[in-house]
Amino acid sequence: MTEVLRVEDDDDFEKIFRIRKIVFVMEQNVPEEEEWDEFEHISRHYIARYNQIAAGTARWRITMTGDVKLERFAVLAEYRGHGVGEALVRALLADVPKREGYKIYLHAQIQVQKFYERFGFVPEGELFDEAGITHVKMVWKGKNDNPVS
């Protein structure tokens, strides 16, 4: 039902930016200028299709410290609860480089912390505000040889 693909063409980029605008800017009131950043061109972007319809997106990138940051997880409201978010997390964890001494982490909105815990992410540090929304840093503690167990 849900297929996740790495974004390679302009048509898919338009779709993921539309999804992010709907979820972050329109639903969550994130200022539009904060949603788009200098990492768009160095990140690996993914699109999730539910029954062939663009339903969600996410991306990952390598940070200045060499760690891997998963970010910009967005699923359109009508597709939440259908496994789209789960498929995105699994696809990104399967794709990211796993190197000894480097972290795989994300900044989770506090209301979805339990969702990410299901995949082996654990909270680290204090709660913080990002774009007017409370977040917690979560570090992946899964096994390097099986990121999607």
The CA angle 39-146-105, to the nearest 5 degrees, is: 30
What does R_g of the chain's alpha carbons equal in angstroms?
15
| Among the four given CATH numbers 2.30.31.70, 3.30.230.80, 3.40.50.300, 3.40.630.30, the one describing domain 2-100 | 3.40.630.30
Residue 143 clears pLDDT 70, i.e. is over it: no
> How far apart (Å, rounded) are the C-alpha atoms in residues 102 and 117?
19
> Residues 30-83: pLDDT tens digits?
998 888 899 999 999 999 999 999 999 999 999 999 999 999 999 999 999 999
The answer to whether 138 and 108 have CB atoms below 8 angstroms apart is yes
* Token output for 2: 């849900």
* Token output for 108: 């989770």
Residue 144 clears pLDDT 70, i.e. is over it: no
What 3-state DSSP class applies to 142?
coil
Per the listing, tokens 């840093």 go with 137
0.85 exceeded by pTM: yes
